[in-house]
Amino acid sequence: MSNAIPEPVTKLIEALGALPGIGPKTASRLTYFLLRAPSELSTNLADALHDLKTKTTFCSNCGNITVDDPCPICSNANRDHRTIAVVEEPLDLIAIERTGTYDGAYHVLHGVISPVNGVGPDDLNIAQLIKRLTEGNVLEVILATNPGMEGDATAMYLRGELTQHSVKITRPARGLPTGGDLEYVDTVTLMRALQGRSEM
């Protein structure tokens, strides 16, 4: 980068540019925006970034991101800890929580089996899940990984790993999305939606 740009500016451009989805142009725009914005905004952002790493941890039980260990969901006695929804990422957990219809526990894998990208079962939070099944009184495991090739492979792998435990293993239903258009739906989704149709 040119010497005409002061070092603190180039440092921030490079730091922001390392974030996913942010290219050099966006990184520069954000940097110059912060440069002109009130210093309170930069201070708040810096504090938030600092707290993100110093005040959060992974829940030792479910792997979710939390301030207190165990996380509020794992320590909530009103939730049904006999049902565990296995999700790929903490964001998937939030998506399920938003529905307001699930009151069970979670388990975050922190990834998905992706042989092409070199991610195997040992890179995921699977051992802790098995430990939970061995120790706890779990009746059902919902394999809520994403419905794609890698999510399906992870679910199939987990099903194999979990069959030795006497738990019910389920997978969320698949079908047509709200607001979707039947003519644009792919054949596999449509086929599964028809197979899983329900009486009304």
Partner 1 sequence: MSMRPRTFRTPALVLKRRNFGEADRLLTLLTPLHGKFDAVAKGARKPASKKTGHVELFTRADVLIAKGRSMDILTQAEMTNPYLPIREDLIRGAYANYAAELLDRFTYDSDDTYTTTLFDLLDTTFARLCDDDDPRRVIRYYELRLLDEVGFRPELNECVVTHEDVQPTDQFFSFDGGGVVSPQGSAHSAGLVSLPVVTLKLLRHMQRSAYQQVGALTVQDSLHSDVERVMLGYITYILENRLQSIAFIHRIRQFNS
Say if residues 104 and 83 touch (Cβ distance below 8 Å).
yes
| Residue 179: strand, helix, or coil | coil
- Decide whether 40 or 186 has the Cβ nearer to partner 1: 186
Q: Mind giving me the DSSP string for 63-122?
A: --EESSSS-TTTT-TTSEEEEEEEESSHHHHHHHHHHS---EEEEE-SS--BGGGTB-GG
Q: Does 178 bind partner 1 (CB under 8 A)?
A: yes
Q: How far is the CB of 95 from partner 1 (least distance, A)?
A: 10
Q: Does 6 bind partner 1 (CB under 8 A)?
A: no
Q: Does 98 bind partner 1 (CB under 8 A)?
A: no
Q: How far is the CB of 114 from partner 1 (least distance, A)?
A: 8
Strand locations in the chain (E): 57-58, 65-66, 80-87, 104-108, 140-143, 168-170
How far is residue 123's CA from residue 112's CA, in Å, rounded to a whole number?
A: 9
How far is residue 45's CA from residue 33's CA, in Å, rounded to a whole number?
A: 13
Tell me the one-letter amino acid at 190.
L
- Decide whether 139 or 156 has the Cβ nearer to partner 1: 156
Judged by CB under 8 A, the residue of 30, 97, 140, 152 near partner 1 is 152
The residue written with tokens 């165990």 in the block is 70
**With CB under 8 A as the contact rule, which of the stretches 38-46, 67-75, 111-119, 127-135 interacts with partner 1?**
111-119
- Decide whether 88 or 141 has the Cβ nearer to partner 1: 88
Residue ranges in 153-172 that form contacts with partner 1 under rule CB under 8 A: 153, 156-157, 160-161
**With CB under 8 A as the contact rule, which of the stretches 30-38, 124-132, 164-172, 177-185 interacts with partner 1?**
177-185
- Decide whether 4 or 182 has the Cβ nearer to partner 1: 182
Residue ranges in 19-78 that form contacts with partner 1 under rule CB under 8 A: 20-21
Count of C-beta atoms within a 10 Å radius of residue 35: 12
**With CB under 8 A as the contact rule, which of the stretches 6-14, 51-59, 100-108, 186-194 interacts with partner 1?**
186-194
First to last CA, the chain: 64
How far is residue 109's CA from residue 120's CA, in Å, rounded to a whole number?
A: 12
State the residues that interact with partner 1 by CB under 8 A: 20-21, 113, 115-118, 120-121, 148-150, 152-153, 156-157, 160-161, 177-181, 184-189
